[in-house]
Structure 1
Amino acid sequence: MSGGSLRLIMRDFISINVIIIIIILILPISDSAKQEKLIPSSDEMIERSLGTFGWVEVVQCILVSFAMFFDAQQSFITIYTDDYPTWHCTNQTMCTSNSNICKIPKSSWSWDGPSQKTIISQWNLECASSFITGLPQSSFFIGCLIGTFALATLADTSLGRKNMLIISCLSMSITSIIIVFSTNVWIYSALKFLIGFWRSSIGTCVLVLLTEKVSTEWRFTVGIVEYFCFTLGYTSLPGIAYVFRFSSWKNVYIWTSIPAIIYSIIGYFFVIESPRWLLMQGRNQEAIAMLKGMSSEENDDLTSSLLLNVPPQQKASVFQLYSSIAKLFERSWALKRMVATMVLGIGIGMVYFGMPLAVGNLGFDIYLAVVFNGLMEIPSCVATY
């Protein structure tokens, strides 16, 4: 075959392919192909349906985030309820300010405040081992650890994010009221375990509810609001404890629990469920109504047209408990990120929780120390915002 013939064949081959490509590009797309192209994923539908960050989003953001306010109070309440109270000598011949009260008669010294000011003074734990005095707080964090594994994925089931948040907050608050009936440190520690168990899912439910109801542009901002409310809750504790400094530690639990119960009732009626979860459950009409209430008026028609055309595979999602956790171990990149996050979380948790919980051992005023510690977090929230 001559070179000219070969060039002619190659030219004809290229020309035919170019013609075929042009025909494919200009031919109308079939109905099935159009439908597959035009129908976005659930995330894209929600993103396109949500409008600007309006007053509805602001109210929902504050309402949902405020659960962290009560979460912080229960996380750090032992700073005051389990504190080692100050004392003074009543018999100067047998007692001095440097005496070890465990080695002198009980009649030679007395607490500065009422005997029921903290669990240490009420249950005579001043000479107990550090294991006993630290057991309530340790039980709380063990409850948090177990609760994280037990409750982590329940928000993805038919229970939902909103209901999981309300149940967790309400159960935590009710247990905090029951704890005032404790008669010894063992019952007290068991109830602290339950408080930690129930509060373990509050943070994740709040974060998911916040981020799934706003566009990607605002997700970082609403996440900061969550932790700002946590800081406010922590900073509010000294004020409550100071009011009841001459009464029982039980008052601190009661007056941090009652507002949390009221919040749970309000949240049940006014917190809006996540649109993504509604779509996962096949409750498309509810998702449309919710998104219409949150989106701008010009997006109403878009919301309806998008969600009414949800493909069959997205209309219902069969959820298997802990299946999402199993997927982390199936993907190496996800597992590596999870391990790295856990290592960072351990270091951050030891400092973030360890320092405030041990502030009573620093020799400063226990009320001002917590206030200043909390106020130091506010600039970091603002700077991050």
Structure 2
Amino acid sequence: MKPLAGVKVLDLSRVLAGPWCTQLLADLGADVIKIERPGEGDDTRHWGPPWAGEGEAEIAAYFLAANRGKRSAAIDFGKPEGAAVVRQLAGRADVVVENFKVGGLAKFGLDAATLRAAHSRLIVASITGFGQDGPYAARAGYDYIIQGMSGFMSVTGRPDGEPGGGPMRAGVAVVDLFTGMYTANAILAALVRRGVSGEGAHIDSALFDVSLAVLANQASNYLASGREPGRQGVGHPNLVPYQPFETADRPLIIAVGNDRQFAKLAELLGAPEWAGDPRFATNPARVSNRDLLIPMIEERLSKRDALEWSAQLDAAGIPAGPINGIGQALTDAQAVHRGMTRELGGYRMSGSPLRLDGERMESDMPPPRLGQHTDGVLAELGATRAEIDQWRSAGVIG
């Protein structure tokens, strides 16, 4: 039995942060019902190319990334009959996840206050750009904008003055993904608390808050020093050497985390005296003398191929690895051994990284077709065949 077996989740979210949260809950065993607009569905169903599948099963690859393990019910809650049905589903759920603008669900009677007034045990997670209050609460929030506003992009990319210098966004929507993870954690905590108190909760998740939180050491560096960390490209603000280096054939990342590892690296590079040099002997000294040390290391690494260096570094206990393309990473021997790609319903997908007692926490249900489970979900509410047909002809469901 998976940890969340028996937990029912009503998913009113779309795009990435909310669906990422509910996919994690589905992987852990929750029954997730995804409510989508008839004829349209989640925006990301149309975010292609690339596309996966054929015919009726064709779908944007983007959608596949965040929607396995869910049942899709196409219900238009903009219509009173549809809103009433979704409220019934909420009444049977343990958790509701939504990412509408603040107050956007109140006109349908689907806001947290209304739902929790009727069902005190219900946990409602609201995901917005800036939270339920504050001067920016009414604004829409998108990952890219939040990466900029939160300072994330100010520490991402090469420094000004270098070729390609300037702020950059991360290659994936990290703020959306982290928000989904934080929200899932909050839901799990609320479920545990409810088991003791009997009361549900309203979870207020904001992309902006999350992006500030995951600045982690960079925010701490600023709060401790009062200085903007700035962009260091592929380097690390607190550790040296901790970056890619050019070898005879391709770049190789070396990540030295302590002085002992640096001494081993110096010996391997044929320069054991570096470990006793006051300019390099300690990490603070190496950070201060970064511009002097890095070219010295790279000059020695350039004599051999990355594969040869990697084997020697590994044997010496010095963390190192290549910069792979995504195809190389997904077909790497370790990724294959750990089963980090899989096929579900004819779609090739990334796998879940979660394992409990050796069992992978991952749903075996492929991402659903739009409205694939509408009739079944309504039947569970007690709707008759005649009612379902009537709602479909009226455009309430798809």
TM-score range normalised by the length of the shorter chain: under 0.3
Based on CA coordinates, which of the two structures has the bigger radius of gyration?
1
Task: Name which structure has the greater RCO, CA cutoff 8 Å, separation 6+.
Answer: 1
TM-score w.r.t. the length of structure 2 is: 0.25
- TM (norm. structure 1) is 0.25
Q: Which has the higher helix share?
A: 1
More strand by share: 2
